Structures are given as structure tokens and as C-alpha cells.
Amino acid sequence: MKTLLLAMLAFLTPFAHVLAADRELLSPDKAFRLSAQLSKANEIVVRYDVAKGYYLYRDKLKFAVEPSTVALGAAHLPPGRVKEDEFFGQVETYRDDVLIRIPVTRPAGSEPFTLIVRSQGCADAGVCYTPQHQQIVIGPGLGERAPESPRPNGASLLESLGRQAPAKP
């Protein structure tokens, strides 16, 4: 029996690298795709598209802004899924995609500003990433647009939030 087991192990060993290649981790920017845009003059919509097999920690999401003439209100974070995490205990996490709305106050006629986002997530494979810091320049016509994904009736990101898309010039 031992000989048969050793023979099978010797046969499968050359294929181990193929299995390992299928489990390569994504870079953080691909595992947790971030985008943000102004949905109206006083609100930013932040979107994370989380890759399959990965999750973000809800309580690790932090938002800041520069310059100091721009102020952020409290982020409206949707509830996450409760998970018993081997690293942090009981936490809420996000999978798939998540939309976060953040009120913003800025002077009339102000220039574009920079949204600074801090996040942390993990792969189901048991690997957690270090906290990520990303910046997006936001302003009318600026910022990264959230990628369109299939929505009921072809609704846009803004329409899915109950907002009207601005008229195109």
C-alpha cells in the first residue's frame, strides 16, 4: 500500500506546478478594483469590484480628501456579510461589488480634488494584503468612472442609485 501511495505521489508531483499556477494571487488593484465619480455636486460614489475568491474588510475602508478646503461627510457604507476571520475575529466583509456614497462639501467654483482611499482585503486562499492607499482626482468630468456592469433594464450606475444622469451637452 505504501509503495502504491509513493508511486502515485511521484506521478502527480510534476503536475503540482500547474495546480499552483491556477492559484496565483491577483495584484491588489485587480483583486479590488476601485473607481469613483461625482454623482452630483455634493456626493461621491465609490465603487469596488471585488474579484471572485476575494473580500474587503468593511471596517478597514477609510476616506480622506485633499485640499483642506474640501470636506467629506460620513461615508454611507452598506452592511457587509459577517465572517469569522482567522486574522481579525468577527468582521463584516464585502464580496462582488459594493457602492459607497460619501457627501462632499467644496467651495463654489472649486478645482478638482483628490480622494484618498485606504482599504484592506484578503483572498479566500488564506492570504491577506497589506493596507492599500489609492488616490483618485475627482471633479466635474474627472475621476474614474465606475465600470458598467449589467443592471436591470440597462440602468446606469447613477440610475441604480436613484439619481438622474446629467444631460449631455
Quote the pLDDT of residue 23. 63
Residues 85-96: tens digit of each pLDDT: 777 789 999 999
Q: Please determine, looking at this structure, whether the domain spanning 30-143 carries the CATH number 3.30.70.100.
A: no
pLDDT in the model for residue 107: 86
pLDDT of residue 139: 80
pLDDT score at 104:
94
Report the length, in residues, of the chain. Answer: 169
Please report the pLDDT score of residue 109 as a whole number: 75
Predicted local confidence at residue 148, as pLDDT: 35
Q: Strand 121-123 relative to strand 71-72: parallel, antiparallel, unpaired? A: unpaired
What's the confidence (pLDDT) of residue 110? 76
Q: What rounded mean pLDDT belongs to the chain?
A: 77
**Omega of the bond prior to 67 within 30 degrees of 0, cis?**
yes
Q: What is the pLDDT of residues 68-86, one digit of tens each?
A: 999 999 999 999 999 987 7
How many C-beta atoms surround the C-beta of residue 99 within 10 A? Answer: 16
- Nearest in space to 157 (alpha carbons), one of 31, 32, 40: 40
Residue 32: partners with Cβ closer than 8 Å, 6 or more residues away: 48, 49, 50, 51, 54, 56, 119, 121, 132
Intervals of the chain under pLDDT 50: 1-22, 145-169
pLDDT tens per residue, range 26-37:
999 999 999 999
DSSP character for 139? S
Domain-wise residue ranges, the chain: 30-143
